[in-house]
Amino acid sequence: MSEPIPLRPFAAPAPEPLVRDIEAGETFPVAHLGPLAEIAHAIHDVTEAPLALCAQSSLGAAALCVQPHANVELLAGGAAPCSLFLLTVAESGERKSTADRLALRGLHAYTREQDKTYKEERTPYDIRRATWEARKKALTAASARGGDKGEAAAAELELLAAEEPFPPLVPTRIVGEPTLEGVMKLFIEGHPSLGLFSDEAGAFLGGHAMSADHRLKTLAGLSKCWDGDPLTRSRAGDGTVTMFGRRLSLHLMAQPVAMAPLLADPVAGGQGFLARCLIAAPTTTAGTRLKLEHDPASDRIIANFAAKVESLMAAHMPTGDDRQELTPRTLPLSRQAREVLQVYYMATEKAQAPGGDLAEVRAHASKTCEQACRLAGVMTLWGDLNAPEITGATMADAVQLASYYLNEAVRLCDAAVVSAGTMQAEALRVWLMEKWAGDTVTPRDILRRGPNSLREKAKLRAPIGMLVEAGWLVPLETGREAYRVVRT
C-alpha cells in the first residue's frame, strides 16, 4: 500500500491589482524654459515641490501676463493666442498652493493696489450713473408727450446716449469662481485678459459646471477661449452678449482621484478640450524634502519675478475703440524658427499613422506644433514684450517642451481610462496596505481614520465591494460588518 500523498496547505489566490502601475514620467526639461527656467528653479528650491509643478505655475503666470499683447504665427498660416491651458496632477501635500502663490505673488500685489483705485472710482461713477439715468427717464417721458417739447427731448436723448457713463473695470484678473459662468461674468465686467487658476481644482472638476448636464457646455466654452473665438453669453432677462477679443489662460491643479474622471471623460477627449491642455503628472517629492533652508538667491529671483509680473499687468493692453476688446499684433516666426518647427511637424505627423507611436493620442499630437508656437510666444514675450520675432533657439526650446507634454499624454493615456470609482478603491487599498496596521478593518475604522475622500458612508460601499471582489478584503462572519485585510 503506497504512502498517502501529503496535502499542501490551502493558499488563497493573490489579490488582483486594481490598476496597472504607470511608468514614471520624464524629468521636466526645465533647461528649455528659456527666461522662465530661473523662476521655476527658485520656486522648486523654496518649496521642494516637484519641478514640473513649479514649471507649470511659472508658465501659467507668464502666459497670463503676455497673452493680451500678441498672437503667435502658426506654421500653416494664421495666428493663435499666446494663452496656455495647463493641468497638473499631484497628490495632496505636494505644496501646490505654495508654488502657485509664489508664482502669482506679483499678480496678487497688483490686484490689491488696483482694487483700492477701483473702490475710489466706483462711488463717483454710481453718482454719475444715477444722474444720467434720472435725466434719461425725464427726457423719455417728455419725448412720449409729443409736440415741440417732445421733439426737443427726443433730440436731447440722442445726445445723452453718447454721454452714457461706463463703470470702471473690475480689477480682478483671476476668476474667483472657477466655472465657465464665472469666466463669462468677469469678461463682461472686467478686463479682456483673465486667468482661470485653482490649486484645488477638485471642487471645479466635481462641481456643477462639470456635471453631466453642463459638462459639454463648459468644455466647449473653455475651448473657444483657448482658440480666441468670440464668446456668447445668453441669460434670461439680460439678453445675449457677444464678446470679441478676449483671452484666457488656465492652470488647474488637482489630486489624481479628482483629475482622473476628467482625463477619462470621453466628452473632454472627443470635444478636444484635453488636447488643448498641457498636462503634467510629476513623481512625488515626498520623503526627499529634507532641506532646512534654501538659497537666499531664490528669494531675490522670486521677488524680481513678482515685480515683472506687476509691471506687465500694468502695461497698456492693445485695444481698439472698445476698451474690452483686444487687438493684439502677430508675433512672426523667424526663418530659423520655421525650419525647426517644420522638422518637428514632419516627425509627429508621421507618428500619427495607424500603428504609429502617436496613433493613440492623435488629438494631442495634431495640436503639438501649435502648442510649441504658443510656448515659444510666451517665452519670447516674457523676455521682451516688443520682440520682433520668435528665434530659432526659442523655438527649439519650445519644441522640447511640447515633446515633453506629448510624451506625458502618451504616458497618461492608458491610465485615463481608470474610473473615478476604481481610483477611490485604489486609494482605500493603498491606505490599508500602508497606513492600517490591523489584520481586520470595519467601515467605522475607515470612516474615522481612512482617506479623506472616503470619510462619508455613502461613498464607502462601492470601494469596499471592489476590494472584496479583487481579493484584498475578505468578509468575516461576525455579528457586525468586518473584513480581513489580505496583504501580499
pLDDT in tens, 383-413: 999 999 999 999 999 999 999 999 998 888 6
In a domain, 136, yes or no: yes
State the CATH number of the domain containing residue 455: 1.10.10
Contact between 37 and 28 under an 8 Å Cβ cutoff? The reply is: no
Alpha carbons within 13 angstroms on the beta-carbon side of residue 303 total 5
**E-assigned strand segments in 53-178:** 70-73, 79-81, 85-89
In a domain, 15, yes or no: no
Give the end of a domain, one of 418, 439, 466. 418
Taking only the tens place, the pLDDT of each residue in 127-157 is 999 998 898 898 888 888 888 788 888 888 8
How many domains are there within the chain?
3
Reported pTM: 0.81
What residue has cell string 470609482? Answer: 421
pLDDT exceeds cutoff 80 at 415: no
Contact between 145 and 159 under an 8 Å Cβ cutoff? The reply is: no
403 and 313 in a common domain: yes
State the CATH number of the domain containing residue 75: 3.40.50
438 and 299 in a common domain: no
In a domain, 467, yes or no: yes
Give the end of a domain, one of 418, 445, 464. 418
440 and 408 in a common domain: no
Where in the sequence is the domain holding 75, given as residue range(s)?
23-104+174-286+293-418
What residue has cell string 495632496? Answer: 92
pLDDT exceeds cutoff 50 at 427: yes
Structure confidence at residue 271 (pLDDT): 81
Mean pLDDT across the stretch 2-18?
61
Report the distance separating Cα 425 and Cα 444, nearest Å: 16
Structure confidence at residue 142 (pLDDT): 86
Maximum pairwise Cα distance, the chain: 131
Structure confidence at residue 2 (pLDDT): 55
Report the distance separating Cα 183 and Cα 369, nearest Å: 27
Mean pLDDT across the stretch 167-194?
89
Give the end of a domain, one of 403, 418, 433. 418
Which residue did the predictor score with more confidence, 161 or 318?
Answer: 318
pLDDT exceeds cutoff 90 at 422: no
Residue 115, φ and ψ in degrees, nearest 5: -65, -35
Contact between 208 and 179 under an 8 Å Cβ cutoff? The reply is: yes
Taking only the tens place, the pLDDT of each residue in 104-120 is 999 999 999 999 999 99
Looking at the chain, the whole-number percentage of residues with pLDDT higher than 70 is 93
Mean pLDDT across the stretch 53-73?
98
Which residue did the predictor score with more confidence, 418 or 46?
Answer: 46
Structure confidence at residue 478 (pLDDT): 80
What residue has cell string 500602508? Answer: 434
Mean pLDDT across the stretch 4-12?
54
pLDDT exceeds cutoff 50 at 10: no
pLDDT exceeds cutoff 70 at 8: no
Which residue did the predictor score with more confidence, 70 or 122?
Answer: 70
Q: How far is CA 264 from CA 43, 270, 419, 478, in A?
A: 31, 11, 7, 39
In a domain, 389, yes or no: yes
332 and 299 in a common domain: yes
Mean pLDDT across the stretch 280-306?
91
Mean pLDDT across the stretch 47-66?
97
Grade residue 418 by pLDDT with cuts at 50, 70 and 90. Answer: low
**E-assigned strand segments in 290-401:** 329-331
449 and 403 in a common domain: no
What residue has cell string 470619510? Answer: 455
152 and 125 in a common domain: yes
CA 253-254-256 angle, to 5 degrees, is: 135
Mean pLDDT across the stretch 342-361?
94
Structure confidence at residue 412 (pLDDT): 80
374 and 265 in a common domain: yes
363 and 466 in a common domain: no
433 and 316 in a common domain: no
pLDDT exceeds cutoff 90 at 453: no
469 and 450 in a common domain: yes
In a domain, 403, yes or no: yes
pLDDT exceeds cutoff 80 at 31: yes
Q: How far is CA 109 from CA 169, 264, 421, in A?
A: 17, 37, 41
Name the β-bridge partners of 197. Answer: 251
In a domain, 13, yes or no: no
pLDDT exceeds cutoff 90 at 52: yes
Mean pLDDT across the stretch 211-232?
89
Instruction: Residue 393: count other Cβ atoms within 10 Å of its Cβ.
Output: 14
Grade residue 456 by pLDDT with cuts at 50, 70 and 90. Answer: confident
Contact between 252 and 87 under an 8 Å Cβ cutoff? The reply is: yes
Q: Which of 82-86, 168-172, 246-250 has the lowest mean pLDDT?
A: 168-172
Structure confidence at residue 479 (pLDDT): 78
CA nearest neighbour of 70 among 367, 372, 374, 309: 374
Which residue did the predictor score with more confidence, 132 or 247?
Answer: 247
Which residue did the predictor score with more confidence, 86 or 264?
Answer: 86
Report the distance separating Cα 272 and Cα 364, nearest Å: 9
Cell for 110? 497688483
131 and 190 in a common domain: no
In a domain, 7, yes or no: no
Structure confidence at residue 485 (pLDDT): 93
In a domain, 12, yes or no: no
By CB atoms closer than 10 A (0-12, 13-18, 19+), residue 300 is exposed
Mean pLDDT across the stretch 190-195?
96
189 and 157 in a common domain: no
